[in-house]
Amino acid sequence: MASRTSSYKVVLLGEGRVGKTSLVLRFCRDTFVDGQPPTIQASCLERALRLGDKTVNLVIWDTAGQERFHALGPIYYRDADAALLVYDITDTDSFKRIQVWVRELRKMVGDSIQLSIAGNKSDLERQRVVSRQEAAEYADSVGAHYAETSAKQNRGLDELFSSMGKRLLASREEKLGSPALGSGPASTRRSRGAAMVLIDDEPPASSSSSRCC
Amino acid sequence: MPRPTMRTEITHTVNVVQKERGFFGGAAHQCVVTKYIIHVSLPSAGSAVPLEWQVARRYSHFRSNHAALSSMFNNLPKLPPKGMWDSKGLSSSSAGLAPPDPELIASRMVLLDAYLKQLLAIPAISGCTQMRTFLGAYQGMQPAWFEGLSRDSLARMTPLPDDLVESSASPASPATTPGAWGSAAADGASPALAHGHKGDGSGHASASALDPPPLEEFAPGAAGDNSAAQAIIREMGLLVSADAFAAQFPKLHFASQPDVAAGMVQRFLNGMEAAVAVAHPEVYPNGCTEGALWWARDVLEDRLLHRLHDHVFGVLAGEQQEDTELSDCLDALSDALTPAQLDVSAAFCDTRFNRWAAASAELRQIALRRTPRAKMDCVMQCVLQLKQGLLECLGAVGGAGPLGADELFPVFVYVVLSCNPPPLASDGP
């Protein structure tokens, strides 16, 4: 089968100031904004990833991390394929916050969403308060992939996103392969238009119209 | 690029109880008929958009299609005979509602499937209008959506009140070419195609907010890619079709059954898109690129929704009241609302740079726009103003750090709340 680009929606969740925006800017634009006014604004960016013979396109949606906008989360994650939960390794509250998100996601969208957890700001090792082991064990317990990242030093991001891409591909293939969804070409991706149309009216009469049964 | 060819697969059959007109004007009676559900797809050939739909056809449809093809082509594959089924069918219809023999139907289905595939393997046939019409490629554009549909077929798709289905008994017009229906229906609608053909400047002078923009005004920068789609839309009279559909639309009483009406629009648009995708080779020999197809769909959608606006927006029960209540709430709120309450950082409150007034002005345009896309565009313009404002504010204070949703979103919420654009509830998602 020829390689085909699959597009996935990824929603970024996490407390304000943990580096969500920096992470996505680094990954998609390879820039880090530190000490100078920003020139790029990011609220939705995308990047294609090459994984073996397949290409995966990740469309990453940034969200507002402030607690007061928490209620708007479902607008973003409802139809997302993956969620990237970001916390700051120097901030315990931000780690607690992602646990709230995980509970909410599992409750609202179940297992249909791939979870990744990123402990960001790994360059600030000396101020670390959330241990690597604690976070990894937590991620394991909720079926999430875990990675430590530094948007500033560009560490851990490629591994994080390519793992996410691989798991998204695998889960889609699993879905397509299952007989319940019908076989092959009928289930090709269609980004617009809703359910398949059933045309059930008389074909226009041709010249020799014999009307019976 | 190869032209897309249609592929078919008869996936299953359905038995439906149907009212049959008696022979020679005899009394109508009910009988069970079998419909073969044909899955039709236009596989993605290079850049073409994968497109698929299902069409329900009875054996008699196969037979009349075969007869029509026989008059145009030689050496057709043989249509599987109805054979012994005839006697069974006859007895079952006289007996009333006995279902047809499932084994016979199953073997017939396999034979018909093979027959269809043989037919479509002949390029001249798979490309001809008769065959495509049989497979429902143009169906979306026909008045049958409203008039020719049997009660039965509608009932199985969506519940529909009686008065709608009963409204007209006239059979679907023999629209073997889609353009024929398009121009036939034109007298009931506004002369839409005039936009496309005339070159004088009077069109612009008389254009009001109520008239959809002419075809040329869509995506002017990308005309090269879209000229094919433009030609197809003109040649097939699709704008006229859209207008005629819009003229029929009020019959659906959107407010009393929004889902049905929305479903009709969706199917109509899908039908138009299919028509563009399989457009005649003589109009555009190389088919349409994916981009041009999207463009065509957008143009037709805008055209249609522009005309449907007054029948769709603000017509649901309680919608206008909701609008008023929400607006009153926001008015009351705006006296007490401060940016700080929404976590908007002080750096962004500098009115010299933040562009909140401009963003609000963009947002207020939403009430004047008549298509969802145009309304969405107002929101986008608003956000772009805010983003630019944030950058300039940060620049002014020598601020640093990334600019993402943490920064933008609170500002956006603040501007929406304080601007209170009407009508927020019915224009919202």
**Pairing relation of β-strands A54-61 and A44-51?**
antiparallel
> What was the pLDDT predicted at A85?
97
Residue A116 lies in a domain: yes
Question: In angstroms, what CA-CA distances link B129 with B74, B133, B236?
Answer: 17, 6, 13
pLDDT of B247 higher than 70: yes
Number of alpha carbons in the 13 Å side-chain half-sphere of residue B359: 27
> What was the pLDDT predicted at A98?
95
* Residue of B406, B409, B416 best to disrupt the A interface, most CBs of A under 10 A: B406
> What was the pLDDT predicted at A171?
87
A1 and B CB contact within 8 Å: no
> What was the pLDDT predicted at B291?
72
**How many angstroms separate the CA of residue B231 from the nearest CA in chain A?**
23
The Cα–Cα gap between B282 and B88 comes to: 46
Exposed / middle / buried, residue A143 (Cβ in 10 Å: 0-12, 13-18, 19+): exposed
> What was the pLDDT predicted at A162?
93
Residue A147 lies in a domain: yes
> What was the pLDDT predicted at B83?
62
| Residue A171 or residue B202, greater confidence | A171
A188 and B CB contact within 8 Å: yes
The Cα–Cα gap between A8 and A48 comes to: 10
The Cα–Cα gap between A51 and A39 comes to: 30
Q: Name the token pair of A35.
A: 């000490």
Q: In what order do the strands lie in the sheet with A145-148?
A: A44-51, A54-61, A5-13, A82-88, A114-120, A145-148
CATH level 3 topology of B226-311: Serum Albumin; Chain A, Domain 1 (1.10.246)
User: Which of A87, A153, A161, A163 lies closest to A119 in space, CA to CA?
Assistant: A87
Residues B76-115 have pLDDT tens digits of 999 998 765 544 444 444 444 566 777 888 888 899 999 9
CATH superfamily membership of B317-427 = VPS9 domain (1.20.1050.80)
Nearest Cβ partner for B175 among A196, A199, A204:
A204
Q: What are residue A46's DSSP bridge partners?
A: A59
The Cα–Cα gap between B194 and A174 comes to: 52
Q: So where are chain B's domains?
A: 1-81+102-131, 226-311, 317-427
- B239: pLDDT confidence band, cut at 50, 70 and 90? confident
- What's the pTM value of the predicted model, to 2 decimals? 0.63
Residue A138 lies in a domain: yes
Q: Degrees (nearest 5) of the Cα angle B335, B337, B339?
A: 140
User: Which of B197, B102, B136 lies closest to B6 in space, CA to CA?
Assistant: B136
Residues B334-351 have pLDDT tens digits of 888 889 888 888 888 888
The nearest alpha carbon in chain A to B397 belongs to A37
Highest mean pLDDT, choosing among B222-226, B232-236, B409-413:
B409-413
> What was the pLDDT predicted at A174?
78
B54/A198 Cβ within 8 A? yes
Residue A163 lies in a domain: yes
Residues B254-270 have pLDDT tens digits of 777 777 777 777 777 77
Highest mean pLDDT, choosing among A56-65, B2-11, B250-259:
A56-65
- Domain range holding A106? 5-177
> What was the pLDDT predicted at B275?
67
> What was the pLDDT predicted at B181?
30
Q: Which residues contact A95 (CB under 8 A, 6 or more apart)?
A: A87, A88, A119, A130, A135
Q: Which residues contact B380 (CB under 8 A, 6 or more apart)?
A: none
B387/A206 Cβ within 8 A? no
Q: Which helix (H) or strand (E) holds B270?
A: helix B258-277
Q: Degrees (nearest 5) of the Cα angle A206, A212, A213?
A: 120
Q: Which residues contact B335 (CB under 8 A, 6 or more apart)?
A: none
3-class SS letters over chain A: CCCCEEEEEEEEECCCCCCHHHHHHHHHHCCCCCCCCCCCECCEEEEEEEECCEEEEEEEECCCCCHHHHHHHHHHHCCCCEEEEEEECCCHHHHHHHHHHHHHHHHHHHHHCEEEEEEECCCCHHHCCCCHHHHHHHHHHCCCEEEECECCCCECHHHHHHHHHHHHHHHHHHHHHCHHHCCHHHHCCCCCCCCCEEECCCCCCCCCCCCCC
A:B CB pairs within 8 Å? 184
Distance of CA B4 to the CA centre of its chain: 20
* Residue of B11, B19, B403, B413 best to disrupt the A interface, most CBs of A under 10 A: B403
Highest mean pLDDT, choosing among A154-168, B270-284, B360-374:
A154-168
pLDDT of B225 higher than 80: no
Which range (A78-92, A134-148, B199-213, B401-415) has the least confidence?
Answer: B199-213
> What was the pLDDT predicted at B189?
31
Q: Name the token pair of A106.
A: 């599992």
CATH of the domain at A163: 3.40.50.300
> What was the pLDDT predicted at B94?
43
The percent of residues in chain B predicted with pLDDT above 90, rounded, is 7
Q: Supply the ipTM of this predicted assembly.
A: 0.75
CATH number corresponding to B1-81+102-131: 3.30.1520.10
Chain B residues closer than 8 Å to A35 by CB? 400
The position carrying tokens 């008023």 is B324
- Exposure class string for A146-184: b at 16+ Cβ within 10 A, else e: bbbbbbbeebbbeebbebbbbbbbebeeeeeeeeeeeee
Secondary structure of residue B144 in the 3-state scheme: helix
> What was the pLDDT predicted at A196?
56
**Pairing relation of β-strands A5-13 and A82-88?**
parallel
pLDDT of A14 higher than 60: yes
Q: What are residue B42's DSSP bridge partners?
A: B51
Residues A85-102 have pLDDT tens digits of 999 999 999 999 999 999
Chain A residues closer than 8 Å to B48 by CB? none
Residue A184 lies in a domain: no
The percent of residues in chain B predicted with pLDDT above 70, rounded, is 62
- B54: pLDDT confidence band, cut at 50, 70 and 90? confident
A41/B403 Cβ within 8 A? yes
Residues A133-156 have pLDDT tens digits of 999 999 999 999 999 999 999 999
pLDDT of A116 higher than 70: yes
A63 and B CB contact within 8 Å: yes
> What was the pLDDT predicted at A199?
65
Centre a 10 Å sphere on the Cβ of residue A141 and count the other Cβ atoms it contains.
Answer: 9
* Segment 78-97 of chain A within 8 Å of chain B by CB: none
Q: Do the beta carbons of residue B345 and residue B404 sit within 8 Å?
A: no
